[in-house]
Amino acid sequence: DNGVHVPVFYTPAFYLGTDWVKGVEWEESLDHLKKCYKTSVVACWTMWIPLQTVTFSVVPVHLRAVFVCGCNLGWNVALDFIAHNT
C-alpha cells in the first residue's frame, strides 16, 4: 500500500482530483502536485507505516476500525495543511 499505492495513485489522485473539483487548470494542478508531492508522500510514510504496525500488533481487533478512523482524521488534517501551506 505505502510502497506503490501512495506514491503512484493516491497522492496524484488527491492533488489532481481536488484541483479539478476547484476548477484549477491542468498545468496549475500538475505544478501543485510537483510542489507538494515529496512532502506529502514522506508525511504519509512517516505517519501510516508506524500506525499500521501499531494497528495490527497492539490494537484489539474490535477497536481497529475506530483507531484507524481517528488516525485518518488526523491524516486528512495533515494532508490539507501540506496542500495549502507548501
Which three cell numbers mark 58?
497492539
Describe the crossing of helices 11-21 and 26-57 by its angle, rounded to 10 degrees. Answer: 130
Mean pLDDT, the chain, as a whole number? 96
Q: Is the pTM of this model over 0.75?
A: yes
Which pLDDT score is estimated for 86? 77
User: What is residue 1's predicted lDDT score, i.e. its pLDDT?
Assistant: 81
Grouping H, G, I as helix, E, B as strand and the rest as coil, residue 22 is coil
| Residues 64-79, mean pLDDT to the nearest whole number | 97
Position 15 scores a pLDDT of 97
Cell of 70: 481517528
